[in-house]
Amino acid sequence: MAEAVLIDLFGSTLNSQKNYYQTLLKTLNAVQYHHAAKAKFLCIMGCSTISCERSCDHDTYELETSNGLSAILREFETVSNPSMAASLYTIKQKIDEKNLSSIKVIVPMYRKPLMKAFIDQLFTDVYNFEYEDLQVTVKGGLLKQSTEINVITTQELEAVQNEIETYLRSLPALKGELTIITSPLISDIFIHGFTTRTGGISYIPTLSSFNLFSSSKRRDPKVVVQENLRRLGSAAGFNVKKFYRIKTDHASDVWVMGRKEPESYDGITTNQRGVTIAALGADCIPIIFADPVKIACGVAHAGWRGTLLGVAMATVNAMIAEYGCSLEDIIVVLGPSVGPCCFTLPRESAKEFHNLDPECVRLFDSSNPYVDIRKATRILLEQGGILQQNIRDQEQGLNLCTSCHPDKFFSHVRDGFNFGTQIGFISIRE
């Protein structure tokens, strides 16, 4: 049974005809009878509209004066905004505040394709939707359709996407201004940086506010992440249409751009100008590589598994093999990650770090020793031939523990499964 019920009156032309009130009252009574016991959110999406094909005459919007409606309407929350995008996004926030996921949408049949198009953009697979036909009074009388319309035209879909994008662009940044951490060691030939969690529009607490990754298991849809990315590109000066993230597998595969893209990879290298590559991080280390001599760059995602598998040096070796880079020219900057203060592993897994260097592990004799993946990464880079002075992981706040600084960074260790994601990014200026 649904945890939330949404009744769509957005596209209806409301009037004071008796049959309209009877129809609406019947619908509301049915919703209350079937869902009120379990549903934690009952909502009417109102008809205040600019973008809908049908307009609403507010002078005749007299629901609360109709006999029998006033009392039952008190059980429903009404959301009325100038656009479908604004209304549904507001409703999504209310659903997320209550941590609900099973939603019934009662919508006029002719509006179902449009409603589904908006929902597909604004929600993820975390939510389960079911639809029911709402028969309401419109200009021509009681609307009834014997066949369901399941298609939406390309133009209509583009209009939905544009309306959502325009609305999201209008939203204010949350939790402060957008902040990018950079390293003076990287030449101005490159655009680069590491993001923090401020300056975006993600509102869910563990994703707020500058989350830069969406998945079917999170409540942040791609359109929200894309708006955050657009703001990053505008601030940093790169083209978001030429932006590529790693496809994390916690291993050591590297995609050399220009070659066939693997199904998954934890490193990317490129020498293409204007292309921005990015490594994800939420405790794992986002690493940036730059060679100002051969003008090539790379990124890597190094969790504890990837660290032990050598993803950092795998990325370096790809740059050497593909672009003729020299070890002494490559600059490596380690982005913010979880520190040895907060990150533990089972003793059997920690043993490999201890074998690399005992200083990488604290309380080794315990069942869950503390592990320093940053120190291990630096050691492996130096062993691979990267010059000590060309590795940076201390200045500019790079060494801050992501778990210890909830105001600055996302953290899987701290926030659990529904964690947000920051990135390290780099591109060669055009």
What tokens does 205 get? 């607490």
C-alpha–C-alpha distance, residues 66 and 141, integer Å = 19
The domain 173-428 having CATH identifier 1.10.760.10: the answer here is no
What pLDDT is attached to residue 9? Answer: 84
- In the prediction, which pLDDT does 66 show? 53
CATH architecture, domain 4-53+60-169: 3-Layer(aba) Sandwich (3.40)
Per-residue pLDDT of the chain (430 residues; tens, 9 = 90+): 799 999 998 765 544 455 666 777 778 888 888 887 788 999 999 754 333 333 344 444 454 445 566 777 778 898 988 899 999 999 999 999 999 999 999 998 889 999 999 999 999 999 999 999 887 544 444 444 434 556 889 999 999 999 999 999 999 999 999 999 999 999 999 999 999 999 999 999 999 999 999 999 999 999 999 999 999 999 999 999 999 999 999 999 999 999 999 999 999 999 999 999 999 999 999 999 999 999 999 999 999 999 999 999 999 999 999 999 999 999 999 999 999 999 999 999 999 999 999 999 999 999 999 999 999 999 999 999 999 999 998 877 888 999 999 999 999 999 998 899 999 999 999 9
Q: For residue 396, give every residue at least 6 positions away whose Cβ sits within 8 Å of its Cβ, in sequence order, or none.
A: 181, 182, 183, 184
Per-residue pLDDT at 46: 77
Q: Return the pLDDT at 36.
A: 74
Minimal CA–CA distance to 409: which of 355, 306, 338, 315? 338
In this predicted structure, what is the pLDDT of residue 13?
52
Please state whether the peptide bond connecting residue 209 to the residue before it is cis, i.e. omega within 30 degrees of 0.
yes
- Position 406 scores a pLDDT of 96
pLDDT of amino acid 11? 60
Domain range annotation of the chain: 4-53+60-169, 173-428
| Whole-number Å distance between alpha carbons of 103 and 106 | 10
> Tokens in use for 339?
């520190």
* Single pTM value for the model: 0.91
The predicted pLDDT at position 56 comes to: 40
Residue 390 Rama label (left phi>0; alpha psi -120 to 50; beta): alpha
Residue pair 137/22 in contact by the 8 Å Cβ criterion: no
